[in-house]
Structure 1
Amino acid sequence: MSEELFSAQDFRRRAREQVAPHDLSWREHGDHLLNRETILEIEQLKLKDAAVLVGVIDDPDEARIILTQRTAKLRKHAGQIAFPGGGVDETDLSPEEAAMREAEEEIGLDRRFVETVGRLPQYFAATGFRIQPVLAVVSPGFTITPNPQEVESVFEVPLSFLMNPDNHQRDSWVWQGAVRHFYVMPYRDRRIWGITAGIIRTLYERLYA
């Protein structure tokens, strides 16, 4: 696959030109397709609105996505790989505002370097969240300062790696008495899985499949 295909400029174009996700399109993407029997169960949950920033660094050598390793002491999703993000506050004017605010609080990413370029369908998590992925291009020159209370480390993964379906493995486990299927994307010594891998898979299906 060509390097130009996975440039930040091409990502921006694809994000803006995608067909606008309708309210129910979350059912047809990512690991929701692997767990159709749980959709009704998830819809009946009282979900908290959240937003995450899917930030692609505009580097001419290699566009990369910013990810975090959560600390082990967090109440939910402790130690997991995640996008910067969190709950939508009443003061947030939009999911974009929430995602950028959370990125500033979690990893010190100044929003002046962030250009939001679109959204993905919402991700409905069985752990109680309705997550809005916000797509963004991040200009070079930013600095990262992780909040040690929430983030153990920040790392980057090439967009070309994550958008290659050969790197999208499948796994399953029993959770709350039911078999749940999910994607796994091993990268070096990291294991990207669960919600984050589900959102990445949706990004692939919406923009690159």
Structure 2
Amino acid sequence: MVTIRKMSSLSAPNVTSTDLNAEVFEKLARARLLAEPPVINGTHASGDDDLNPDAGIFSSDVRHAAVLIPIVAHAPLSIILTERTGHLSSHAGQIAFPGGKVETDDASPMAAAVREAREEIALDGSFIEPLGYLPTYRTGTGFIITPSVALVRPGFHLVPDPAEVADIFEVPFQFLMNEANHKIDSRTWRGNERRFYAMPYGERYIWGATAGIIRALYRRLFSA
């Protein structure tokens, strides 16, 4: 069973992303993240509609999913991301966190996220220290996602599942937690212009729900 140790509200350290090592980050995360899974209801702290409040495209057939935000505890900190394979029926080729549907036998969204990380990239659970949750994130494709944040001890060996993952890579945590790197781009979808967050990193184009969740993590840790 995946458990999350609570930290007394003695305070979240007053730091910026440039100050962080693994120890300071863990204290900050435990103080500011949710210790229990957020309730799945009609209220969401963020979502694909943040920049498109009048789009009105959201599906009423919502599905619950969980993603793992795996923050590697080396110096400097980094976040593990994946590139989805090009043949998938949805979000093919996009940059994503490990994750997927929460099954009925998953003990929690964190347990689902850890299971999916093992299945998709062979990340062994013995390297994972759960830290907490972000509020749910709703996508325009009908998913309510529970982002589950964890610290990952170095020494792991990752292997992509070729059915789902084309590549695995890391991005510096400091880069993703720098608001100057949070761009707003747009595309035409179903005849309407859709705006979204994007965080280009080298040849990687991080956008959509993944960028939106990264933005939510930044706001939770450093803008609270």
TM-score by length of structure 1 reads 0.90
Match among 83, 95, 102 for residue 69 of structure 1: 83
List aligned pairs for 1:1-209, cutoff 5 A: 5-18=19-32, 20=34, 26-27=44-45, 29=46, 32-38=49-55, 41-42=57-58, 45-59=60-74, 61-209=75-223
1:13 offset after TM fit, Å? 1.8
Q: Is the 8 A contact 2:100 2:113 kept in 1?
A: yes
- CA-based RMSD: 2.0
Q: Look up the equivalent residue of 1:124 and give its one-letter code.
A: R
Which blocks of at least 5 consecutive residues in structure 2 are unaligned? 1-14
Q: Is the 8 A contact 1:63 1:158 kept in 2?
A: yes
SS for the counterpart of 1:186 is strand
SS for the counterpart of 1:99 is helix
Aligned mates of 1:49, 1:62 — CA distance in 2: 33
> Judging changes above 3 Å, is the alpha-carbon distance between structure 1 residues 24 and 129 closer, same or farther for their aligned structure 2 residues?
closer
Q: Look up the equivalent residue of 2:70 and give its one-letter code.
A: G
1:181 offset after TM fit, Å? 1.0
Q: Look up the equivalent residue of 1:71 and give its one-letter code.
A: T
Q: Look up the equivalent residue of 1:194 and give its one-letter code.
A: G
Which blocks of at least 5 consecutive residues in structure 1 are unaligned? none
Q: Is the 8 A contact 2:48 2:138 kept in 1?
A: no
Aligned mates of 1:128, 1:191 — CA distance in 2: 22
Q: Look up the equivalent residue of 1:120 and give its one-letter code.
A: L
Aligned mates of 2:92, 2:101 — CA distance in 1: 16
Query: Which structure's residues are more often helix, by fraction?
Result: 1
Q: Is the 8 A contact 2:134 2:147 kept in 1?
A: yes
TM-score by length of structure 2 reads 0.84
